[in-house]
Amino acid sequence: MTARRTIGALGAAALVLAMEGTGWSQCAMCRTALENSIEGQAMAEGFRYGIVFLLAVPYAIAGSVGVGLLRAFRKKSRKP
């Protein structure tokens, strides 16, 4: 069972790393506005991290709920 979990964790990590490039993208107008101004260039890095954060939070919440439900069903099925 631990080998199966390890393979699953490695697969999930590979999927996240493969999708990482899309998380750094942003709309063309916002990017142009940030890169054309002097102070905007400094803000662009924070803007990118903000996009990734806003993208990751719903998945983290859904994953937490999913893990909780999985544990509840496994616990329920083990009781005689």
Residue 32 above 80 pLDDT? Answer: no
Using an 8 Å Cβ cutoff, are 51 and 23 in contact?
Answer: yes
Domain boundaries, the chain: 23-78
Q: What is the pLDDT of residues 47-77, one digit of tens each?
A: 777 888 888 999 999 999 999 999 998 888 8
Identify the pLDDT of residue 21.
57
CA–CA separation, 13 and 6 (whole Å): 11
Burial 14-36 (b: 16+ CB within 10 A, else e): eeeeeeeeebeeeeeeeeeebee
Q: Provide the whole-model pTM.
A: 0.46
